[in-house]
A and B are shown apart, each in its own frame.
Chain A
């Protein structure tokens, strides 16, 4: 309801402002161009997310200090704490970083965003910034039309910077001429009350514009033109810092519990920092004066002093919050718990995971891993085998032979409870991604979807087999018992081998181990069918029993093929760095069939 009223209200107010004051038009246009520049910058940096960013992020978030440094550097380069927050939430939702690392990134991003104020106050206002903007726009737009993704990304970044500079130029010009009409400084509110009121205005402006940078630019340009007082400008800067958490909160609404925890951490940090800044405003102002003096900043250079203030109060926030980081993590986990549903639901497929190709693939891979484990559990239950026995490496054959019966289990119910919810969500998630079809990530997602289909088929094969396994694993028919125990042994050893391979480090080479298992499964199928023919020839089993055995050996082979294929896909997606080289050595059905024939 609020959104429906807010937008038309804003448009009406703006329209009225344009009609009343041409100078206001220039300022508003400057803000709009600035915001467009931010969008263009974000678009440009998104082109470089994916493999490189994933690798950098994993390496640079192993400690709180490293995470903070990542936050500082990435925000300084990209000039957008919102984008860095969105990246952190996406990566956290996809399980790529821990909550503590994500919080470290947010802390760092808050400090990194203060470089924006330095750039604007130190450079943007002191030079003819429009002269730099024009060539950037021209080159940027030319590059945007190139076919190479990297060049397009650079184009968006250049054009974004150009629009940023142009926006600052128009805001500067607008405020300069604005004061000839209205002197906003007449409406200044002195003292702490002024700081509080202007902090409120800063929060409102940042929420509306969805950019603390835009609020800061407006503040600095207004301060430079003498349209606001220094103290009121500080209030606006504090408000901008608090208001920027709204972007993270909006982003986290579509995230899982981890994403929401991170957004809450962002809010806590910025609100605490804001309260400290307001409570100790005069003390901090004294520190600012001291630091500015040491840096050679003139006493009346309020724009640079605002930049110093912005950096100092964010640094103060970090100093206060870092020792409390572990308590914050514990508190967030306690107050935003993970819900445990009756039917297994996806954990990583939040909309925020779909923001970037890398996080989308990782999220789907993590969910597919869960489906894989659930499938293995269901297969073992269906075959009446204990997981710890199968994975222990102990002799399976005697243990299976000793078993008196197989407990009944509803494979269908297990599928409904542990797989169907996640599988459906994976398929829906992949269908909603809009990456280019030729994109490496899109291919990865399609393969993962196929892997999930294979796993579901393996479960269906188990359901088929379970009936006869229950019937014949018992004392009534020794011959059939042995035949079905052979099937169980084959599947048990297969699962043991697959888990051993999956746990090994070298993904690209160990796809050969999985292909070898495929050959073993093909050979087992031949041996099983030969054995059945012999048994039927000897008259030891009836035709009905013989046909059951033949069908079940086919189901068993089908199950083996499906689970091997799914495991291969998971390994291939993990080793996506191999790219086309991996495809060049990968063996297809006909290659494997040729090897079998030669054997």
Chain B
């Protein structure tokens, strides 16, 4: 059992495709976290913004971030299944 696991780990080390996929997943998770933080900041900023144009832009940005997170989460699910 131990030998099998060791061989699997060795195989993973040599398996560049798997390493690449895991790296991709890490980067995507990090990006999704950044988007989540940005969303939180925007939700606090929008009610306080007095400039109409800026408020409009910020609310559009919030919609975009929600859409990006949705898209990113779907991509993450697909990658994790592989």
Q: Which residues of A contact B (CB under 8 A)?
A: 148, 493, 497, 506, 508-509, 512-513, 515-517, 519-520, 523, 578-582, 584-587, 591-592, 594-595, 598-599
Residues in A whose Cβ lies below 8 Å from that of B58:
516
Q: Which 10 A-B pairs have the closest CB atoms?
A: A516-B61, A581-B27, A584-B75, A516-B60, A585-B72, A581-B28, A585-B68, A515-B64, A519-B60, A512-B64
Cα A86 to Cα B47 with chains together (Å): 55
Q: Which of B38, B56, B75 contacts A512 (CB 8 A)?
A: B38
Task: Check if B31 sits within 8 Å of A582, measured CB to CB.
Answer: yes
Cα A595 to Cα B70 with chains together (Å): 12
Minimum C-beta distance from A546 to chain B (A)? 26
Minimum C-beta distance from A579 to chain B (A)? 6
Task: Check if B31 sits within 8 Å of A508, measured CB to CB.
Answer: yes
Task: Check if B28 sits within 8 Å of A512, measured CB to CB.
Answer: no
Minimum C-beta distance from A509 to chain B (A)? 5
Residues in B whose Cβ lies below 8 Å from that of A509:
31, 34-35, 38
Cα A592 to Cα B64 with chains together (Å): 8
Cα A117 to Cα B75 with chains together (Å): 54
Assuming A582-B31, A584-B31, A584-B71, what are 9 further A-B pairs, CB within 8 angstroms?
A: A148-B16, A508-B34, A509-B31, A512-B35, A512-B64, A519-B60, A519-B63, A523-B60, A579-B27
Task: Check if A579 sits within 8 Å of B64, measured CB to CB.
Answer: no
Cα A371 to Cα B29 with chains together (Å): 34
Total A-B Cβ pairs within 8 A: 81
Cα A579 to Cα B64 with chains together (Å): 20
Task: Check if B24 sits within 8 Å of A581, measured CB to CB.
Answer: yes
Interface of A is mostly: helix
Interface of B is mostly: helix
Minimum C-beta distance from A396 to chain B (A)? 9
Subset of 30 A-B contacts with CB under 8 Å: A508-B31, A509-B31, A512-B68, A513-B57, A515-B68, A516-B57, A516-B58, A517-B57, A519-B64, A520-B56, A579-B24, A579-B27, A580-B24, A580-B28, A581-B27, A581-B31, A584-B28, A584-B31, A584-B71, A584-B72, A584-B76, A585-B35, A585-B75, A587-B64, A587-B67, A587-B71, A591-B67, A591-B71, A595-B63, A598-B63
Query: In B2-61, which residues have CB < 8 Å from any A CB?
Result: 16, 24, 27-28, 30-32, 34-35, 38, 53, 56-58, 60-61
Residues in A whose Cβ lies below 8 Å from that of B67:
587, 591, 594-595
Task: Check if A595 sits within 8 Å of B64, measured CB to CB.
Answer: yes
Cα A508 to Cα B31 with chains together (Å): 8
Cα A22 to Cα B71 with chains together (Å): 71
Minimum C-beta distance from B15 to chain A (A)? 11
Task: Check if B38 sits within 8 Å of A580, measured CB to CB.
Answer: no
Residues in A whose Cβ lies below 8 Å from that of B71:
584-585, 587, 591
Instruction: Closest B residue to A489 by CB, please name it.
Output: B53
Cα A578 to Cα B34 with chains together (Å): 12
Task: Check if B72 sits within 8 Å of A513, measured CB to CB.
Answer: no
* Category for how many chain B residues contact A: 20 to 34
Q: Which of A497, A579, A591 contacts B57 (CB 8 A)?
A: A497
Q: Find the residue from B34, B64, B68 having the highest chain A CB count within 10 A.
A: B64
Cα A598 to Cα B31 with chains together (Å): 25
Cα A586 to Cα B76 with chains together (Å): 14
Residues in B whose Cβ lies below 8 Å from that of A519:
60, 63-64
Cα A519 to Cα B62 with chains together (Å): 11
Cα A516 to Cα B58 with chains together (Å): 8
Minimum C-beta distance from A178 to chain B (A)? 47
Residues in A whose Cβ lies below 8 Å from that of B57:
497, 513, 516-517, 520
Cα A594 to Cα B57 with chains together (Å): 17
Cα A599 to Cα B58 with chains together (Å): 14
Task: Check if A585 sits within 8 Å of B32, measured CB to CB.
Answer: yes
Residues in A whose Cβ lies below 8 Å from that of B68:
512, 515, 585-587
Minimum C-beta distance from A102 to chain B (A)? 32
Cα A134 to Cα B18 with chains together (Å): 33
Cα A515 to Cα B56 with chains together (Å): 13
Task: Check if A506 sits within 8 Å of B28, measured CB to CB.
Answer: no
Task: Check if A578 sits within 8 Å of B27, measured CB to CB.
Answer: yes
Residues in A whose Cβ lies below 8 Å from that of B72:
581, 584-585
Minimum C-beta distance from B33 to chain A (A)? 10
Residues in A whose Cβ lies below 8 Å from that of B35:
509, 512, 585
Residues in A whose Cβ lies below 8 Å from that of B60:
516-517, 519-520, 523, 599
Cα A552 to Cα B57 with chains together (Å): 23
Instruction: Closest B residue to A599 by CB, please name it.
Output: B63
Cα A512 to Cα B42 with chains together (Å): 12
Q: Find the residue from A497, A520, A598 having the highest chain B CB count within 10 A.
A: A520
Cα A148 to Cα B13 with chains together (Å): 14
Minimum C-beta distance from B38 to chain A (A)? 5
Minimum C-beta distance from A400 to chain B (A)? 14
Cα A581 to Cα B30 with chains together (Å): 9
Minimum C-beta distance from A571 to chain B (A)? 14
Cα A173 to Cα B69 with chains together (Å): 67
Q: Find the residue from B24, B60, B71, B75 having the highest chain A CB count within 10 A.
A: B60
Residues in B whose Cβ lies below 8 Å from that of A517:
57, 60
Residues in B whose Cβ lies below 8 Å from that of A506:
34
Instruction: Closest A residue to B76 by CB, please name it.
Output: A584
Cα A302 to Cα B25 with chains together (Å): 58
Cα A595 to Cα B30 with chains together (Å): 24
